[in-house]
């Protein structure tokens, strides 16, 4: 089926649920706060949850044109089988008149994975506040036609424009990244005041396996997780939003919790340390995580790197950039898997003949898993990033089986897929 037909069907069905969602929102009428961006938005949502906790309703497990309406209506997909849609379609009208949340503040993680999705969600939610934390090449494949048609000069421009709809429908105040020119170009579309958050406010950044310290002129925050440097933008936005809401900031961050697959640290077999960043992968998130791990400066760091998916015509160039980025690190061993890694990432990595770093390529995740169990000597720090099913490799290396509950993709559909590939869990 052609992609444009899929998009027509996607939004046709999404609009059905939107009708009932608007009714529920009209009955509820919450103050809406949107966190959006190509990457990093989930971390910012968790920063807000650590501060506001029970003072707001959060849509932190749903960010799409279907996920957000389902969250508002209280509908849930369980089996992910096509037959489940019959029940969802039938239940939606009744869900529109179900009890509303007692919270009058609704904080949403909103995405724009395809053309039209940003406008769809922004016009539905009509946010009071917007925290736009990043804009980069993600899901580029879906935006390629807009570049080919001449509507935009680049995929990055098309993606930024789609995210710009959240500014367009913002009524009170929005925050963006000052150093991102494409984000700044969307400012005239916003009827509300737009605040530019700058990296000049960050004085120092220190990261280790024990946590991360961000130092600003006015405050120093130590968070109990290994986090990339660019999180400072989100921290500053959260600070500013809390000021708008007249809510005090708890500088201890004791309630902070990071979702599975986003830099989760685990103890592994043979006294290894595992950094599980397997939930998603694009060049932007790859870059910040790889730089973060490199700054930890462990004496024996390995990286397991898979493909970046849905990158479209820019995919080869992005995978080459990834290889060059990895070549500039102090990692002692890099393990690649996937077709793009073979064709583009590993050759770019190996181009630096001066680096005497062992690099290997495997066709499947299962081969990576077998290699690690055979070759790990002990005390290595291992980063997992890119491609699918890496969570299975992490699970097989856990020192405590109980930790598998904290890995990503625990749903039954993913368990079946991993087992079909001969992977654990």
**Cα distances (Å, whole numbers) of residue 399 to 270, 272, 274, 395, 406:** 8, 9, 10, 9, 13
Q: Which range, of 158-172, 207-221, 386-400, averages the lowest pLDDT?
A: 386-400
Residue recorded with tokens 């309406």: 69
Interval 347-354 mean pLDDT:
82
Domain boundaries for CATH 3.90.190.20 within the chain: 264-420
**Cα distances (Å, whole numbers) of residue 403 to 223, 267, 396:** 21, 9, 11
> Which of these CATH numbers, 3.30.2130.30, 3.40.50.970, 3.50.50.60, 3.90.190.20, describes 264-420?
3.90.190.20
* Residue 421 zone, left/alpha/beta (φ > 0; ψ -120 to 50; rest): alpha
Query: Percent of the chain scored above 70 by pLDDT?
Result: 97
322 Cβ contact partners less than 8 Å away, ≥ 6 residues apart: 283, 286, 305, 308, 345, 348
In this prediction the pTM is: 0.92
CA-angle at 42, arms to 248 and 339, nearest 5°: 160
Q: Is 400 exposed, middle or buried (0-12, 13-18, 19+ CB in 10 A)?
A: exposed
pLDDT category at 357 given cuts 50, 70, 90 is: confident
pLDDT category at 313 given cuts 50, 70, 90 is: confident
Domain boundaries for CATH 3.40.1190.10 within the chain: 3-201
- pLDDT value at residue 353: 60
For 154-185, the pLDDT digits (tens) are: 999 999 999 999 999 999 999 999 999 999 99
Q: Which range, of 27-41, 117-131, 184-198, 410-424, averages the lowest pLDDT?
A: 410-424
What average pLDDT does the chain have? 92
CA-angle at 258, arms to 255 and 261, nearest 5°: 165
- pLDDT value at residue 2: 62
For 59-69, the pLDDT digits (tens) are: 977 899 999 99
Whether 95 has a pLDDT exceeding 60, the answer reads: yes
For 215-272, the pLDDT digits (tens) are: 999 999 999 999 999 999 999 999 999 999 999 999 999 999 998 988 899 999 999 9
- pLDDT value at residue 164: 98
Rounded-to-integer distance, Cα 336 and Cα 322, Å? 11
| Nearest of 126, 109, 106 to residue 67 by alpha carbon | 109
Q: Which range, of 53-67, 380-394, 409-423, averages the lowest pLDDT?
A: 409-423
- pLDDT value at residue 3: 66
Rounded-to-integer distance, Cα 260 and Cα 425, Å? 15
Q: Classify 3-201 by CATH class.
A: alpha beta
The rounded radius of gyration (Å) of the Cα atoms in the chain is 22
Whether 38 has a pLDDT exceeding 80, the answer reads: yes
């Amino acid at each position: 089926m052609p992609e444009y037909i899929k998009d027509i069907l996607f939004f046709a069905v999404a609009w059905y649920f939107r009708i009932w969602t608007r009714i529920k929102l009209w009955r509820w009428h919450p103050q809406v706060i949107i966190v959006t961006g190509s990457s990093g938005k989930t971390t910012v949502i968790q920063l807000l949850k650590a501060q506001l906790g029970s003072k707001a309703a959060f849509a932190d497990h749903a960010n799409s044109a279907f996920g957000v309406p389902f969250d508002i209506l209280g509908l849930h997909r369980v089996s992910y089988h096509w037959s489940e849609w019959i029940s969802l379609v039938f239940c939606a009208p009744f869900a529109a008149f179900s009890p509303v949340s007692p919270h009058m503040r609704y904080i949403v993680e909103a995405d724009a994975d395809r053309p039209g999705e940003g406008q769809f969600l922004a016009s539905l939610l009509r946010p009071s506040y917007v925290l736009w934390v990043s804009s980069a090449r993600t899901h580029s494949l879906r935006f390629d036609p807009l570049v080919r048609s001449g509507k935009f000069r680049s995929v990055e421009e098309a993606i930024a424009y789609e995210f710009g709809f959240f500014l367009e429908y913002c009524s009170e105040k929005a925050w963006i990244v000052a150093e991102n020119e494409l984000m700044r170009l969307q400012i005239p579309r916003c009827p509300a005041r737009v605040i530019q958050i700058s990296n000049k406010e960050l004085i120092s950044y220190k990261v280790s396996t024990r946590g991360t310290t961000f130092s600003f002129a006015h405050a120093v925050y130590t968070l109990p997780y290994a986090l990339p440097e660019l999180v400072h933008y989100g921290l500053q936005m959260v600070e500013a939003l809390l000021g708008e809401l007249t809510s005090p900031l708890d500088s201890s961050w004791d309630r902070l919790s990071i979702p599975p697959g986003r830099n989760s640290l685990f103890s592994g077999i043979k006294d290894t340390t595992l950094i599980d960043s397997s939930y998603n992968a694009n060049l932007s998130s790859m870059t910040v995580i790889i730089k973060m791990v490199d700054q930890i400066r462990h004496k024996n760091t390995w990286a397991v790197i898979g493909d970046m998916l849905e990158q479209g015509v820019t995919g080869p160039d992005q995978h080459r950039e990834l290889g060059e980025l990895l070549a500039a690190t102090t990692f002692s061993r890099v393990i690649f898997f996937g077709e793009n890694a073979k064709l583009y990432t590993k050759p770019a990595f190996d181009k630096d003949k001066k680096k005497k770093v062992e690099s290997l390529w495997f066709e499947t995740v299962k081969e990576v898993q077998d290699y690690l169990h055979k070759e790990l000597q002990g005390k290595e720090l291992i980063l997992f990033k890119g491609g699918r099913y890496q969570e299975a490799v992490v699970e097989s290396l856990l020192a405590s089986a109980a930790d598998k509950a904290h890995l990503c993709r625990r749903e039954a559909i993913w368990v079946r897929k991993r087992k079909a590939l001969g992977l654990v869990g």
